[in-house]
Structure 1
């Protein structure tokens, strides 16, 4: 009996030791949290006295805080760079819609690289890098996905929530592993809950959780219990006395700020639940957690003195908070003021986790781990290029480069003199108030020369010259829904009826049933035309009353790589569909 007990004790001890050793040698989990249109000043830890973010503030205090961290001026380019470590133009992503928010299938994402190391991967929230095969999260390395479509819920591309109006953030129809599924509750609560469930389900294996909140992006919708906390505040009060610039807020800006702060506090509460779950599961120490935002605020409000907001190449549009915590890997509660960017996240995770950065393409980012460890930067003279315009980059419209504390901004014509640019010494003028281009034209010309070189290189990238296409008829996605976010055509194509638009596609030959949904019912007795390459199919609508969905049955489509252009004509007016569904039979 004593022998059996001793043997049992020995076996238990060996099993426990082996289990403990396994736990200690398990690859670190990775949680990447990004919020949408939350500006640099939308946190208590960054000096905003009106917003309540105790969880994020406490997390920042425990983390390595990168205080000179940059993203793109708008969301899809930021997300492309974040996923790949490359300037977004290299990936084919040049805009937030108009067909410019589709990332090439050939790009290699963080999810794919971690998956190669036996990680289980999940995304919860916003993707915004293509809604069709082969550009969906499931095509780019994610095992589990609960997402909305396009750039935001309630937007035209997210057609399952668009018609919900001021309730689009509540009880939505989302896309779970590429299938429509109804959910109950508020969107941020749903995405956080799904992420927590994913973590709990995969706690015993290394996981990558990409929690990509769509809040506080417009439309500004939030549970009333949160709004009530802010409805009586003056978001413009208490600023300017510290010498930092404070830009005037309209009454509309103030009301937007109240809703944004309420949406951010809701995110903060959800992150508290997530962090408590990590503690409960005993995996907090071995989990890399990153918190960041994707660009500046859409509306004017407190931005810690920074100039500009979302869409701008000035600091207020591109400077973002970035906090990283990994208790088993490095000490927290320190600040790093070295220039860094979203491009650096993938190389940093590569070094922390142990996967190889792709060597068959240019990676623009650099590992932040030396800076985290307190070492000098391995690239002390690095530069960071930013731009944003609709469609394609323009010289020199809303474009910037910064290097070694200097920053050059172009908001001028392609052939303007150097004095028309803005040159700032950020080491002395972090709020971009004093233009030095006239007094230091040599530095301005030096930066402009580098800016020109980067611009020329990027606009000639293969994925920009030959943009990604949506595959029609592939068994990986059948039927296919083409939405307005990924439609090219006239600039500003959104929810208009009479507008020129098309989708870039690769069609597999076959027989298709096709549906055309319109923004609102179209008049009867018209002609529905579908052009694909050199092929046109025309069908007359015989309905006697307005109708919002027209159908073509048994349409034979040839193999085509090119434009799919549908339009309905009646009484001299053309109508472009809201979405098109193609199902190969």
Structure 2
């Protein structure tokens, strides 16, 4: 007689393997947190933050200890969903109109639909807020998200005006429609994800649980903050602080709030994992956990250099945990270099799904490592960059191959000596620049950096920007928000700034409503430009809402440019609602 040991899944004891062997199509849960750095876990050496659920998970998982992502949010998510460098997908920024992924991209959700997976996203998307780039357009059956890069940000206009309560009782977007929710955002996303799991029966599911925490604004329930109110976050730096990180009083307070948000996430994951056990699907489910980049604020980051936005390892190295012992066996560490680009190819390989042949997939399958069939992958280069709007040659760029990293913070015509070169195996903190002793290796990696950079900035979806499609049956009305607006660099909540949206319109009559941050002056005029077609409407009274009715808009692809002109000012709307009327 065979006995089964029933232990709660959140403790990560294993169920006995079924006599029928590995499930052909396992459930897949991909969990990602936002701005949670490498040092924000108990299992990575932080003695102050409490992450018991994730600490238990790592004890029963395969841990990649040399795993890399992009320096900021949207690029990481684009690569995660497609297996491609973000620039190939059209993602070049976190706002300024550069966080709209081309609708032609094949996402992980779309790939899994080929195996009849039920797919759901809960939390942060950050790859476009309008058709054809929303999650529901890119393979997700169930979608509960906030807009833009974060709740409380200008692009997420349904939470922006809540100020210091933007993470509480929010209006979110459920399958493209605004809905009011009660509670704290991380709790809401986790609860809805658990309901999604509960609603699945015989159909395998793909759950993308993409927490927006601990991203700013650092709002957290008081009960969690109380756990950290009296700690000194700089204490954890005393053991390892090669770069002499100094924490201001604000940094310390930010860290307390971050740690509180992290512990809240950990508690929510405990509930989610317990649901798998309750439903009896724990050992038929693969759980993947990671974060999207380094920490935004100054705090412990495992003695690495840099943080969010930086191409040093502190900005791009994060944990990766893979829990699926039925296929991959017991816990162990893998030190081989891996990246966010590899997640889609790995899942495709596991399920024997063919990758698309009409585009370049930059990632590689990690299955040989996960199944311990191979100790190392073939040597390859990983390219990193971050700058606003478009990549700037040799500004905040890096390339990594084998044990070496070449980092660029230099002018376009830089000499080899202007680059930094590190052996990160010997110098984990990237403190010892060994360029002068290794000019031959530097020259070779620089040549690769040049080649990859040139290829990526000429990508089809960079040369031909993704548009917002207006007037279709898939989305009406369409909301044009500040996150998706191009124009001046650094466009955010400013009033007097040049902005625009790149759109494709269907020929029809439209009503347009223009929302301004505050009331615009009286006796002005609203001007709407679509290429050579220009409309003007006078405004006699001061107001923060202006409506243009029955506007005949032609079939058009290009820049939609609205502004209000009065008293010598040109004021850009905060958002625009465009509704097709016929």
TM-score range, shorter chain: over 0.9
Measured against aligned partners, the alpha-carbon deviations of 1:507-554 in whole angstroms (never above 9, x if no partner) come to 1111111000001111111100000011000000122xx211000011
Residue of structure 1 aligned with 2:230, choices 215, 229, 232: 232
SS at 1:448 equivalent: helix
Deviations 1:280-311 (A, max 9, x none): 11101010100000000000100000100000
Does 2:74 align with 1:45?
no
- For residues 465-522 of structure 1, give each alpha carbon's deviation from its aligned partner in whole angstroms, at most 9, with x where no partner exists: 0010001111111110000000000000000000000000001111111000001111
* 2:576 equivalent to 1:575: no
Asked whether the equivalents of residues 512 and 547 of structure 2 are also in contact (C-alpha less than 8 Å), the reply is: yes
Contact 2:99 2:484 survives alignment (8 Å): yes
Instruction: Name the structure 2 match of 1:471.
Output: 469
Change (3 A) 1:377 1:23: closer
Bigger drift between 366-375 and 452-461 goes to 366-375
Comparing 142-151 with 324-333, greater Cα deviation is found at: 324-333
Distance in 1 separating the partners of 2:469 and 2:330: 46
Q: 2:158 corresponds to which residue? A: 160
**Which is worse superposed, 575-584 or 241-250?**
241-250
Q: How does 1:38-437 map to 2 (within 5 A)?
A: 38-242=36-240, 244-376=242-374, 379-437=377-435
Counterparts of 1:477 and 1:71 in 2: how far apart (Å)? Answer: 32
Helix, strand or coil for the counterpart of 1:360? coil
Task: Measure the CA separation in 2 of the matches of 1:401 and 1:150.
Answer: 29
C-alpha distance after superposition, 1:423-474 (max 9, x if no partner): 0011110110000111211111111000000000101100000010001111
Secondary structure, in 3 states, of the residue corresponding to 1:474? coil
Q: How far did residue 248 of structure 1 move?
A: 1.3
User: Is 1:561 aligned to 2:546, yes or no?
Assistant: no
For residues 242 and 136 of structure 1, do their structure 2 counterparts lie closer, same or farther at Cα, with a shift above 3 Å needed?
closer
- State the partner residue of 1:462: 460
Q: Would you say the 8 A contact 1:99–1:485 is kept in 2? A: yes
Match of 1:551 among 534, 537, 547: 547
Q: Is the 8 A contact 2:48 2:236 kept in 1?
A: no
Which secondary structure state, in structure 2, belongs to the residue aligned with residue 180 of structure 1?
A: strand
Structure 1: segments with no counterpart, 5+ residues: 1-19
SS at match of 1:58: helix
- Which structure is larger by alpha-carbon Rg, 1 or 2? 1
Contact 1:286–1:327 (Cα < 8 Å) also in 2: no
Assess if the C-alpha contact under 8 Å between 2:26 and 2:285 holds in 1. Answer: yes
Aligned 8 A contact 2:327 2:371 in 1: no
What is the deviation of 1:329?
1.1
Under a length normalisation based on structure 2, what TM-score does the superposition of the two structures give? 0.95
Residue 246 (structure 1) shift: 4.7
Q: Match for residue 5 of structure 2?
A: none
Q: Is the Cα–Cα contact under 8 Å of residues 138 and 145 in structure 1 kept in the other structure?
A: yes
How far off is 1:376 after superposition? 2.7
Runs of 4+ aligned residues of structure 1 deviating over 6 Å after TM superposition are: 20-24
Shift of residue 61, structure 1, vs aligned partner: 1.1
SS at match of 2:233: coil
Query: CA offset at residue 354 of structure 1?
Result: 2.6
Mapped to 2, the partners of 1:241 and 1:206 lie a distance apart of 46
Shift of 1:373: 1.8
Output the aligned Cα RMSD: 1.3
Aligned partners of 2:239 and 2:260: how far apart in 1?
Answer: 25
Q: How far has the Cα of 1:22 moved from its partner?
A: 8.7
Q: d(CA) in 2 for partners of 1:356 and 1:473? A: 35
Aligned-residue offset at 1:23: 9.8
2:236–2:300 contact (8 Å) kept in structure 1: no
* Comparing 241-250 and 316-325, the one that deviates more: 241-250
Separation in structure 2 between the aligned mates of residue 542 and residue 571 of structure 1, nearest angstrom: 13
| SS of match in other structure, 2:351 | helix
Partner of 1:520: 518
| Cα offset, 1:203, TM superposition | 3.9
What is the TM-score of this pair, normalised by structure 1? 0.95
Other structure's SS at 2:25 match = coil
Residue 227 of structure 2: SS of its match in structure 1?
coil
Offset at residue 379 of structure 1 (A): 3.7
SS of 1:122's equivalent in the other structure is strand
Instruction: Provide the secondary structure at the position in 1 that maps to 2:492.
Output: coil
Contact 1:81 1:88 in 2 (8 A): yes
Q: CA deviation at 1:136?
A: 0.3
